[in-house]
Structure 1
Amino acid sequence: MTTTTRILTGTLAGAMLIAGSAQADRSDWPQSFTVGTASQGGTYFVYGSGWANLIADELGVSGGGEVTGGPNQNLALVHTGDLALGLTTMGPAAEALAGESPLAPGVKLDNVCALFPMYETPFSIATLANSGIESISDIPDGATIGFGPAASTSDTYFPAILEELGVNFERRNGGWNDLGGQLQDGLIDVIAFAAGIPIPAVSQLEVQTDVNIIEFTEEEQQQVIDAFPVSPFQIPASTYQTLEEDARAVSMWNFTIAGCDLPEDFVYEITKLSMENNDRMRDIHRSAQFSVPENIEYNTVLPFHPGAVRWYEENGYEIPADLKL
C-alpha cells in the first residue's frame, strides 16, 4: 500500500467514524418538530414559520410552524409536550412559571426552557385615518377594539393598559388579518397590536387605505411603565409608510422556547444555527436583527435549556446560575 493510499484510507475511515458518531448523536432526536407561532397576519407567524423551515432545512429534521393562540398557548403546549418549540413573551412566561397562566390557573408550567432572544414586542395602536382618532384620548367611549387572538400577549395586557389610561371599550378578538379586514370594513374602530414590527397586517392596510398609527404621550407611556412589566420603546418612522417620525410606545421582550426535556444535542444545534446565522434570520423577518446572543440578558424568568447554555458558554456568554436547570 502506497503512502498516498494509506492517507486516503485513513481519511476515509476517519470520515466514516465522524459520520457514524454524528448519526449516533442523533439517535434521541425527534423525528419531527412543530413551532408554535400565533395567528396569520402577525409577526409570530412569519418569524416562527420561517425559523421552523430554517431548522428543518439545515438539520434535516421534518418540521414547520403551527397557527396557535400565541404566547400563552405556546407556553402551555410546550409544557405538555404537544409542541417541541414555540415563541413567547416574558410577561406571560413569568405568569406561567408562577402558576398564573390564564389557560392553566394554578398549574406551574415549568417544563419550558428559553433558547434565545427574538425581539421586543411594541404595543401599538392603529385605526383608519378617516376615523378622526389621532391619540389615545380621542378613542370614543364604547369604541370596539380588536385585541388579537384570545389569550395572546396583546389580549392579555392591552385591555388592561387601555383601562389604566381611562379608555372605555368593547372587546373583540380574532386573528390579525381578520381584524384588519374588520377595521377596513368599519366593523371595529381600533386595533391594539402587540406584535413585532413591521406588523404584516398594518403594512397590508397601508397599501389599501389611509391609516393612523397612534402613539402614547410621554405621560401615558410613563403611567403604563409604572403599572405593567413593559419598557419604553420608539417605533422607527421607517417601519411604516404612514409614520413621518418615530412613534412613542412600550414593549415587552420575546424569546424562543423549548421543552426542557428535549435532547441537549438537538437544542444545541438549533441554538448554534440560530445564533450564528443572523443574516439568514433577518431574511425571515427584519425584527430578527435583535435575535443576537447579547440580548439574553432580557430573560430573567425562564431557565435556559442545557443545550442552549452549552452554546452560550462555549462562545463566552455567561448564564446566571439561577437560570440553569
Structure 2
Amino acid sequence: MPSFTRCLLATATAMLIGATALNAQAETRVTYKSASAGTAYYQMGVELSEAIRRGTDGEIVLTLEESQGSVQNVMEVMARQGNYVFTTPPGLVEQALAGEGAFAERQSPRFQEIRGLFPIPAITMHFVAAGDEGVIGLADLEDKHILIGRGTFGAREAERYLEMFNLLDKVRVASASIGSGPDALKNGQIDAFVTASSFPTPNVIETAASMPISLVSLTDEQIEQTGAARQTIPGGTYPGIDADVETTSLPVIAYTTSAMDDDTAYTLTRTFWERRDAMAEETAWWGGITHDMIGNIAGTLHPGAVRYYDETGIDIPEALR
C-alpha cells in the first residue's frame, strides 16, 4: 500500500476515534431506578428517559434499571457512585436520614448525601363506587361491600381511613386482591373498591367506560385528619366525574446524590419541567405535577436543582436549600 494511502487511512482512523471519544465525553449517562417492569412507575421511567433524550438532544441518557421497590432504591445509595437517580416517597428518605424504620439496622453516612430533584406523579387514593352520582362523601360508603385489597399501600391506607372515620364496622370488606376490583364492581359482587395509583389510573378508566361510577371526595377536615398530602383529581379526568375530587396521595420524588455534578442536576431538573406539558399530552398522569409538590421533598434539594428553581422564580421552601 502506498505510503500516501496509509497516511490517509491513519488520519481518517484517528479522526473517527477522536470523534467517538468526543461523543462519549459529551454524553452524560444517568442510571434511573424506579420500579419493576410492567408497573406504571417503570412506564414513567421510559417516558421520562425519552423526554430527557429529546430535551437535551441526546446529551443526557437515562438508563433504566428494574427495582424491587422504594426501600431498595434508597438502600443502593450506599454503594452507588456517579449519576444515580432514584424514585421514592419522601417518608423513606426521612427514615434513612434518621436511621429509623427500614434503615434502623443498615445505617450509612451516604444517606446524608441524598438530594432532591423534582416530583413525579403521586400514588393517589381512589375510592370507586357504583352509581351515577359522580362525587360522593366518605359516609356514603356506609353499609357497602368494599374491596380494599391486601398488602399494598392502598389497602393499608383504606383500612386506616375506614377505622379513623368510624366506618370499619359499618362496611363489609371483601377478601380478594385489588386486581379483581373492576370486574367485581361491574358484576355487582361488590359496591365499591379502593385503588392507589397515579391518575388517571387504567383500572378506574376501564371501569368508568363500562358502567356509571362515583368517586369519594374527602372534606378539608378529613384530609387534615389523615395527615396525608392533599391531592385533587380534576373534574373530567374520568368519564362521568365532572367535579373535582379531593383525596389524598403518597408523594413520590426523583432523588439523586451529591455525587452528581451541579450542571447535570440543573439540566435534568430544567428538562423535566420544560418537557412536562409534552409528556402530559402523551400520558395524562404527568399533567398532575405542579410546582407546589416541590414542598413535599424530604431532605434538601441538589444545588443544581436549586439553581434552576431560582432562575425561573419558582418558590421553594428555605428548608430545602
TM-score, structure 2 as length reference: 0.68
How far did 1:81 drift?
3.9
Q: Give the conservation status (yes or no) of the 8 Å contact 1:90–1:255.
A: yes
User: What corresponds to 1:64 in structure 2?
Assistant: 64
1:198 match: secondary structure: coil
User: What corresponds to 1:305 in structure 2?
Assistant: 302
Listed one character per residue, the Cα deviations across residues 281-306 of structure 1 (whole Å, up to 9, x for unaligned) are 323433433545x4365135221123
Give the letter for the 1:323 counterpart: L
CA separation in 1, counterparts of 2:106 and 2:189? 37
Give the letter for the 1:229 counterpart: A
Structure 1 residues 253 and 141, CA gap change in structure 2 (3 angstroms): same
Structure 2 residue 206 is matched with structure 1 residue 223 = no
Q: Give the conservation status (yes or no) of the 8 Å contact 1:47–1:284.
A: no
User: What corresponds to 1:49 in structure 2?
Assistant: 46
Structure 1 residues 188 and 236, CA gap change in structure 2 (3 angstroms): same
CA separation in 2, counterparts of 1:73 and 1:179? 29
Listed one character per residue, the Cα deviations across residues 92-151 of structure 1 (whole Å, up to 9, x for unaligned) are 4434443444x4445565453211133555422114449xxx65343548854126x63x
CA separation in 1, counterparts of 2:118 and 2:280? 15
Structure 1 residues 123 and 76, CA gap change in structure 2 (3 angstroms): farther
Structure 1 residues 278 and 245, CA gap change in structure 2 (3 angstroms): closer
Structure 1 residues 160 and 268, CA gap change in structure 2 (3 angstroms): same
Give the letter for the 2:148 counterpart: I
Structure 2 residue 144 is matched with structure 1 residue 146 = no
| Identity across the alignment (%) | 20
CA separation in 1, counterparts of 2:146 and 2:241? 23
- Equivalent pairs counted in the alignment come to 291
User: What corresponds to 1:159 in structure 2?
Assistant: 159
1:167 match: secondary structure: coil
Structure 2 residue 209 is matched with structure 1 residue 207 = yes
1:146 match: secondary structure: coil
How far did 1:91 drift?
4.1
1:205 match: secondary structure: helix
2:162 match: secondary structure: helix
Q: Give the conservation status (yes or no) of the 8 Å contact 1:90–1:253.
A: yes
Structure 1 residues 237 and 275, CA gap change in structure 2 (3 angstroms): closer
2:300 match: secondary structure: coil
CA separation in 1, counterparts of 2:318 and 2:143? 49
Give the letter for the 1:311 counterpart: Y
How far did 1:267 drift?
2.7
Give the letter for the 1:212 counterpart: S
How far did 1:274 drift?
0.9
CA separation in 2, counterparts of 1:188 and 1:38? 30
Listed one character per residue, the Cα deviations across residues 142-185 of structure 1 (whole Å, up to 9, x for unaligned) are 854126x63x4x355443223212233758796x7565456556
How far did 1:197 drift?
2.0
Q: Give the conservation status (yes or no) of the 8 Å contact 1:146–1:192.
A: yes
Structure 2 residue 264 is matched with structure 1 residue 262 = no
1:276 match: secondary structure: helix
User: What corresponds to 2:278 in structure 1?
Assistant: 280
2:299 match: secondary structure: coil
1:239 match: secondary structure: coil
Structure 1 residues 199 and 105, CA gap change in structure 2 (3 angstroms): farther
CA separation in 2, counterparts of 1:187 and 1:96? 42
TM-score, structure 1 as length reference: 0.67
2:198 match: secondary structure: coil
CA separation in 1, counterparts of 2:299 and 2:96? 10
How far did 1:202 drift?
0.8
Q: 1:247 aligns with which of 245, 249, 269?
A: 245
User: What corresponds to 2:85 in structure 1?
Assistant: 85
Structure 1 residues 295 and 22, CA gap change in structure 2 (3 angstroms): farther
Q: Give the conservation status (yes or no) of the 8 Å contact 2:295–2:316.
A: no
CA separation in 2, counterparts of 1:310 and 1:295? 17
Q: Give the alignment's Cα RMSD to 1 decimal.
A: 4.3
206-215 or 312-321, larger mean C-alpha shift: 312-321
CA separation in 1, counterparts of 2:106 and 2:181? 32
Give the letter for the 1:145 counterpart: I
